[in-house]
Structure 1
Amino acid sequence: MAKTPAASKQEFSVVEVCAGAGGQSLGLHKAGFVHKLAVEIDQTAADTLRRNLDAPVVVGDVANPGVWDPGDYSGVTLFAGGVPCPPFSAAGKQLGTSDERDLFAWAIEQIPVIRPKAVMLENVRGLAAPRFAAYRQRILDRLDELGFVGEWKLLHAADFGVPQLRPRFVLVALPMADMQYFRWPDTDANERVTVGDALYELMASEGWKHADAWRAIASDIGPTLVGGSKKHGGADLGPTRAKQAWAKLGVDGRGIADAVPGADAPAPTDVMPRLTIEMAARIQGWRVEDEYEFSGRKTSQYRQIGNAFPPPVAQAIGESIIAALRHEGEPRTDLEGVAQLHDPVYRALAKSAHPLSLAELVEVYNEGSEVAVQQRLAALQRDFELEVIDDHGTQRYRLGDFKGFTGQSNHWRHEAVAKFTSRVS
């Protein structure tokens, strides 16, 4: 069972949404946070949380007022979550606000309700793509309105001792008085752990005589584990390219094994071993000392593991947040008290009292070409209403409403989630 922090460290509380099986939860516990609540839509993942962590857990759509009331947790130290990734992933077609699973903007709107001291939200690398520049800008500007300074950072789990690359795009936000003390965790790429080193003990646990040879083959970090969703994905290691990458490390990615190789199992050059559930958990950053147990059948267990935020990464960020709240170290000098600029085209339209022409938008966009601005407008239009006005032969643009879900009671996502709850993950 996972260990709860010592009483002397229990001064920092957290509410976590879309908690999954608890990768982020475990890391935050190790950093010194204590859960006031964890919310998760999947019953089996919620069972895993209850089984391993000393945390109150509720099950259901996190945006459903009948599941929990964010106002009941006003003043919590940290509001955290791993909001669903498919809206921003290439595998999910990067539908953004058109995906009923998009909860990033909704999460930001819980800040004035919960009034946390810090915010930590993570997602896939796809959210860092140019396609979502306006989406990111809207979030940062909204944080600024709420009195928070937000920073995005692309982190790689391999830099935290996790034996896979696993890039994650993380948002941390605090009030300026605290944010000036926040620093992203230090990493050391020279201390990366290979798949062979991480799994050797398990591969050799039943006396497999080729374990040393396999370890030599698996002498690099692995590709990102792909847990899939309830719509897509099963108990294998992902699409063809991922399986090919695992094969170079001597791992058969076509499924998950029920047991480790036996003493007389063939050499890995003849028959590659498959990962077990315990091995997949090690690849995702769970340690043997965590004594973590996953609920459900094999496919569900693997999905929970594959979709998790690696505990060591969550722990490192959590420790950095606590250090910032304690005002440890010297204040930063690179923060100006304004939100970072991700999309000047969106920013110009959002702040303008009148429609802007293409020429005016080119002026504010540092790429400096009409084609570049038109590409930005096309991307922006996927997540925002954009009015095009003919002003005596000159086209002008006015930014309309955000299409995303921020908590509206009449938003179309409610019907979609209610209809397809069993497929939402």
Structure 2
Amino acid sequence: MTSLRVVEICAGAGGQALGLHKAGFEHALAVELDPTAAETLRLNTGGTVAVGDVANADVWTPADYTGIDLLAGGVPCPPFSIAGKQLGSSDERDLFAWAVEQVSVVKPRALMLENVRGLSSNRFSGYRQRVLDRLTQLGYVADWRLLHAADFGVAQLRPRFVLVAMRPEDFAYFRWPEPAAERVSVGEVLRDLMAANGWKHVDDWVKLANGIGPTLVGGSKKHGGADLGPTRAKRAWEALGVDGKGVADSAPDVDAPHPAERLPRLTVEMVARLQGWRAEDEWEFAGRKTSQYRQIGNAFPPPVAEAVGRAIRSALEHDGVAREVVDGTDVHDPVYRALAGAEGFVSMDRLVDALTEGSHASVERRLALLAQDFELEQQVTANGTKYRLGEFKGFTGQENHERHDYMNRFRSRVS
């Protein structure tokens, strides 16, 4: 299988890298902020890894990779997660819009970016529309899809919102990967690891762990150590026979208590297995236990990356039958569209019409959401208030953006 070349940004510990390698992509470069995660990449890929803020021109030069087959990445999730308060473009960690802007420089044949489910919510409909419209301006067709890791052989739900974009002639061959016929349980996936020290109650534990795990939470450098997430997640793990209050150094001993008496904890190796790493991958994680857990918990599951990577590869090789591509039909926010396409101020009545079955109240709700990510001007007239969409508040590479100051002051806490 001839390798295609990929540049991966915000590469983390290599979940996406491993999946893309299995799909037939070879890394020309991986860029990662965290030095320990970057060391993990070096240990396992042998490729070139640039360490530092991906948006810093001293770390790498996007123009050096013009024409690459794939630009991919898992840019920071907190700006779109509920835990991160869904600040979007107001969160200095947001790099999604910046990553999209690099398409104008790198001009990849394909783009793949993944993030948390929160990006698919109504809160970010205008943000998503801006992304789609910008990619259209650059000559690409794009689509979003919410994928669940459990549909691709991973024993946890872990929904990820994935964006794929290509030139129309390639996108005509793109098909999202189909879910696997059956899902696997936590007990099935971890039985051999739980039994590594001969635990005599392992079969009873496997019966108890007969389900899909909740999403693993890697957390940030600012909060906590190695545990399986907030209280709600810990309760879900408890229902599957797992003590989520910490991460163990080893599997249960041969005479460890029955799970009805004391639940076992997962090891780092078990967490990696639940994230989609397999024994045959022989993936080595750098750093100490808490760092390793954080790297794994923040990763894009390799099987999901592989499935999407294979779909992208097939499209770039024009496998199958081409379909008609109608650009610009995917409308996530018609109110944004109406404002962005207007030269001046737009009346409330026009915005209500753009929303079709909308009302003044529904338009006002959308305007309030848009105002979190865009400057929104108002003009009060005798016939009512009119609106004009102003500048996007997010970071796209501006030299005077407040993100630069934030990174200089808090880089050691950003993960």
The answer to whether the aligner puts 1:419 opposite 2:409 as a matched pair is yes
SS of the aligned residue for 1:135 comes to helix
Distance 2:146 2:233 in 1: 21
Q: Give the alignment partner of residue 306 of structure 2, picking from 305, 315, 334.
A: 315
Q: Give the alignment partner of residue 66 of structure 1, picking from 32, 54, 58.
A: 58
Q: Give the alignment partner of residue 177 of structure 2, picking from 182, 185, 188.
A: 185
Name the count of aligned residue pairs.
Answer: 415
- What is the letter of the counterpart of residue 77 of structure 1? D
Partner deviation per Cα, 1:156-187 (whole Å, 9 max, x = no partner): 00000000000000000001111011000011
SS of the aligned residue for 1:387 comes to strand
SS of the aligned residue for 2:237 comes to helix
TM-score by length of 2: 0.99
SS of the aligned residue for 2:162 comes to strand
- What is the letter of the counterpart of residue 111 of structure 2? V
Partner deviation per Cα, 1:31-64 (whole Å, 9 max, x = no partner): 0000000000000000000001132001000000
The answer to whether the aligner puts 1:305 opposite 2:296 as a matched pair is yes
Distance 2:260 2:91 in 1: 43
Distance 1:58 1:186 in 2: 34
The answer to whether the aligner puts 1:378 opposite 2:372 as a matched pair is no
**Gap change, CA 1:202 and 1:42, over 3 Å in 2:** same
Query: How large is the RMSD of aligned CA atoms in angstroms?
Result: 0.9
- What is the letter of the counterpart of residue 170 of structure 1? V
1:216 alignment counterpart: 207
1:24 alignment counterpart: 16
* Unaligned runs of at least 5 residues, structure 2: none
Q: Give the alignment partner of residue 76 of structure 2, picking from 84, 87, 96.
A: 84
Q: Give the alignment partner of residue 38 of structure 1, picking from 25, 30, 42.
A: 30
Instruction: Give the stretch that moved more between structures: 12-21 or 366-375.
Output: 366-375
Q: Give the alignment partner of residue 273 of structure 2, picking from 282, 300, 309.
A: 282
SS of the aligned residue for 2:80 comes to coil
Per the TM alignment, residue 339 of structure 1 is displaced from its structure 2 partner at its CA by 5.0
1:361 alignment counterpart: 351
* Unaligned runs of at least 5 residues, structure 1: 1-7
Distance 1:340 1:35 in 2: 31
Aligned 8 A contact 1:87 1:102 in 2: yes
SS of the aligned residue for 1:191 comes to coil
Per the TM alignment, residue 108 of structure 1 is displaced from its structure 2 partner at its CA by 0.8
The answer to whether the aligner puts 1:294 opposite 2:317 as a matched pair is no
Q: Give the alignment partner of residue 173 of structure 1, picking from 146, 165, 169.
A: 165
2:234 alignment counterpart: 243
SS of the aligned residue for 1:198 comes to helix
Runs of 4+ in 1 over 2 A off after TM superposition: 231-234
The answer to whether the aligner puts 1:399 opposite 2:389 as a matched pair is yes
Aligned 8 A contact 1:149 1:339 in 2: no
1:94 alignment counterpart: 86
Distance 2:225 2:113 in 1: 26
Partner deviation per Cα, 1:52-111 (whole Å, 9 max, x = no partner): 113200100000001110011111100000000000000000010111110000001111
Per the TM alignment, residue 358 of structure 1 is displaced from its structure 2 partner at its CA by 1.2
Map 1:135-174; keep pairs closer than 5 Å. 135-174=127-166
Per the TM alignment, residue 369 of structure 1 is displaced from its structure 2 partner at its CA by 1.1
Aligned 8 A contact 1:227 1:233 in 2: no
Distance 2:123 2:129 in 1: 12
1:342 alignment counterpart: 332
Distance 2:241 2:47 in 1: 38
SS of the aligned residue for 1:36 comes to strand
1:122 alignment counterpart: 114
Distance 1:46 1:71 in 2: 22
Per the TM alignment, residue 366 of structure 1 is displaced from its structure 2 partner at its CA by 2.9
Distance 2:17 2:67 in 1: 19
TM-score by length of 1: 0.97
Q: Give the alignment partner of residue 387 of structure 1, picking from 377, 383, 387.
A: 377
Partner deviation per Cα, 1:327-359 (whole Å, 9 max, x = no partner): 1111224x3122510000000000011211111
Distance 1:310 1:364 in 2: 39
Per the TM alignment, residue 112 of structure 1 is displaced from its structure 2 partner at its CA by 1.5
1:4 alignment counterpart: none
Partner deviation per Cα, 1:270-300 (whole Å, 9 max, x = no partner): 1000000000000000000000110111111
SS of the aligned residue for 2:396 comes to coil
Distance 2:357 2:119 in 1: 21
The answer to whether the aligner puts 1:9 opposite 2:2 as a matched pair is yes
